[in-house]
Amino acid sequence: MVNSSQIPYFILTAYLDMGYLKYLYFVIVLMLYIVIVVANALLIVTICMKRSLHEPMYVFLCSLLVNQLYGSAGLFPFLLLQITSDSHTISRSMCFLQIYCLYTYASVEVCNLAVMSYDRYLAICCPLHYKARLTSNKVALLIALVWLYSFIKFLITLSLNLRLKLCGNVIDRLFCFNYDVVLLACSDTTLNNIYGLYGIILSVLVPLIPILFSYIKILRVCVVGSKETRQKAVRTCTPHIASLINFSFGCCFEIFQSRFNMTGVPRIIRIVLSLYLVTIQGLFNPIIYGLRLSKIRQICRNHFCSKKVFISE
């Protein structure tokens, strides 16, 4: 056993012995990261530049896409460095920074999806009061609350982790994960476990309540409403529901990996599941929103078609 002060780094043991294939994996991960950054950045620029998209739904979507860039920045550069490295280690400070980044990313994501569900509820159930109840100031306040709530909540988690005395430095993962670090502690972790349970309840219940409330109300309106109301609900809620389900799958994979013994599962599957939350969500959101939301689709079509005509001339 070693004292916490004698642990300057952690060893990540989930990396396979790749040999020369590591250069192929490096290119694949790099291309994946470039696609995520370009796809999300293009939609952000489109929303910011087009005044017709300066509506609450698209502003909330912009916040969601910015969070994708934030989360992927906390993982992909580190992965690229580790793939080409022979010693898979991470410094103590960088490990805690990565934990903070990935946890706040997940929290901002689910809270942003909760705010977006409330936006859909107002648009479908209270269309006449939509603009009055979702003013630009209220939209800005909701986005600020989403980010501040997540950053402050996990700042407490980080401060509790920093006080732990660790008796090991081996983590069987591709990146640092909060629960794995707590398991290495040889000091009392009661406070960490209590706040961890409290944090899980907050992370699930706070966003779940507005999501359930919004969709129960939307379903009621769809049942008694007109055909146009049902079409509007399907058209605008489908991307949000799809993103919510995809994110829930990613969270479930992380919970299963951290709380249950998955040594019987092939390592390559565990690696894919570890990367699912940030990777697939980062690819999925710009695609599903870009394809399903007619305004964004029309703007992109007009933009690229006009460019094509200009080039042909």
Give the Cα separation of 50 and 265 in Å (integer): 47
* pLDDT at position 173: 84
Q: Is 132 exposed, middle or buried (0-12, 13-18, 19+ CB in 10 A)?
A: exposed
Domains of the chain: 4-303 (1.20.1070.10)
* Residue 21: closest CA among 268, 273, 277: 268
* pLDDT at position 304: 55
Give the Cα separation of 140 and 146 in Å (integer): 10
Model's pTM, two decimal places? 0.88
* pLDDT at position 3: 46
* pLDDT at position 311: 40
* pLDDT at position 310: 38
* pLDDT at position 292: 66
Enter the DSSP assignment of 90. Answer: E
Average confidence (pLDDT) per 10 residues, the chain, 313 residues: 62 78 88 94 88 87 94 92 86 91 92 94 88 91 94 89 86 85 85 83 85 91 82 84 88 74 71 83 87 68 53 40
* Residue 76: closest CA among 105, 47, 48: 105
